[in-house]
Chains A and B, each alone.
Chain A
Amino acid sequence: MVTLLTVSIVLLVGIILMPFYRVVVGPTVFDRLLAIGAMGAKIIGLIVLFGLLYDRVDMFIDIALAYAVLNFIAGIAVAKYFHKPSERRSRDA
Chain B
Amino acid sequence: MLESLLQVIGWVLVGIGLLAMFVGSLGLIRLPDFYTRSHAASMVDTTGIILLLLGLVFLIGFSQAGLKLLVGVIFVILSNPVAIHALARAAFRAGLRPLLGEVADRKHRKLEDKE
Contacts and interface: CB of A to CB of B under 8 A. Distances in A.
The size class of the interface chain A forms with chain B is 35 or more
B22 A15 contact: yes
Contact of A38 (B28, B71, B93, B96): B28
B29 A42 contact: no
Could you tell me the dominant secondary structure of chain A's interface residues?
helix
Interface residues of B, number: 49
B103 interface: no
Interface string A22-63: 100000101101110110011011001100100001100110
B101 interface: no
Contacts of A72: 75, 79-80, 82-83
A79 B72 CA distance: 23
A68 B79 contact: yes
A12 to B, nearest CB: 6
Interface of A: 1, 4, 8, 11-12, 15-16, 18-19, 21-22, 28, 30-31, 33-35, 37-38, 41-42, 44-45, 48-49, 52, 57-58, 61-62, 64-65, 68-69, 71-72, 75-76, 78-86
Interface of B: 7, 11, 14-15, 17-18, 21-22, 24-26, 28-29, 34, 37-38, 41, 45-46, 48-49, 52-53, 56, 59-60, 64-65, 68-69, 71-72, 75-76, 79-80, 82-84, 86-91, 93-96
